[in-house]
Amino acid sequence: MISAESDYFFSRTALMYVFMGHMRWKDIIPYEACFWTKNRINLINDYVTTLDDQRKTVQTASGTEIGYDKLIIATGSSSNGLEISGTELDGVASLYSLQDLQHIESKSTNIKKAVIAGGGLIGIELAEMLLSRNIPITFLVRESSYSNMVLPAEESEIVNREIREHGIDLRLQCELKEITGDKTGKVKSVITTNGEEIPCQFAGISVGVHPNISWLKDSPIEVNKGILVDELLQTNIIDIFALGIAPNCACLLRVAKRSNQSGIQVA
């Protein structure tokens, strides 16, 4: 098993509770350390950069070549970025990986104000995390009501009210246009599509995720929005399978077409 994110598997949806102090890091690791050797699982702290399906090998970032009989691709997702000015500034962060959590921890200390852009589940998680440390938050949501694409109007309004009753400055039909920085390269403010400048020292980006499939661009594996697989989760290359878990829900599989056969697209 090859993974560069952490030494051991952990519960990703519990990362926010580590930040909030409700759980410790060791509390979100479901298996004891001996589980892996006991079950003859060799953990390699690295990540795969290239695939050679003809030789049945993968190449890692450290230069190690590893052979396989069967290969399972479960490379997950990464947070989407925004094509706006200022995303490279010190104090801009997303929440998906362990490294993201560590980055947020280091950049949210001793700040006076935070702005979160994006009204999805990760956005509301970021808001709850920062609110637990009494950091004032402005929450930018492009829709006319929170999660109104999923919830009925009455229920969406209940969520709007609940967010505001917790002291969060919810701005509906408002998006992030630009992030400005000070002379040291740190976040100074954000500018919204409504033309308002909001001073802050932290900008949380929560505008969805995308599958980590860029490393497959030179491989023969068929992809669309994700990796295309058949009803057995096998790709178009024999002995190579793909699967995935959505970050905030159960296993997410979308029906897709591969050639003329119905298949499954792992999002």
pTM over 0.85: no
Of 2-6, 64-68, 88-92, the least confident? 2-6
Over residues 161-176, mean pLDDT: 95
pLDDT in tens, 27-59: 999 888 889 889 998 989 998 999 999 999 999
Task: Decide: 229 and 241 in contact? Cβ < 8 Å.
Answer: yes
Domains 12-78+210-266 and 81-209 share a fold: yes
**pLDDT bucket at 96, cuts 50 / 70 / 90:** confident
Domain residue spans of the chain = 12-78+210-266, 81-209
**pLDDT bucket at 209, cuts 50 / 70 / 90:** confident
Q: What pLDDT sits at residue 36?
A: 87
Portion of the chain with pLDDT greater than 90, in percent: 65
In this structure, the dihedral spanned by the alpha carbons of residues 83, 81, 122 and 267, taken in order and rounded to 10 degrees, is 120
Q: What pLDDT sits at residue 38?
A: 92
Of 88-92, 165-169, 208-212, the least confident? 208-212
- Give dist(CA 210, CA 213) in Å, integer: 9
- Give dist(CA 43, CA 48) in Å, integer: 13
pLDDT in tens, 234-255: 999 999 999 875 433 323 333 3
Asked if the model's pLDDT at residue 265 lies above 70, the reply is no
Q: State both tokens at 131.
A: 């609110």
Assess if CATH 3.50.50.60 describes domain 12-78+210-266. yes
How many C-beta atoms surround the C-beta of residue 103 within 10 A? 16
Smallest Cα–Cα separation from 203: which of 214, 195, 216, 192?
192
Q: What pLDDT sits at residue 4?
A: 86
Average pLDDT, the chain: 87
Domain 81-209 belongs to what topology? FAD/NAD(P)-binding domain (3.50.50)
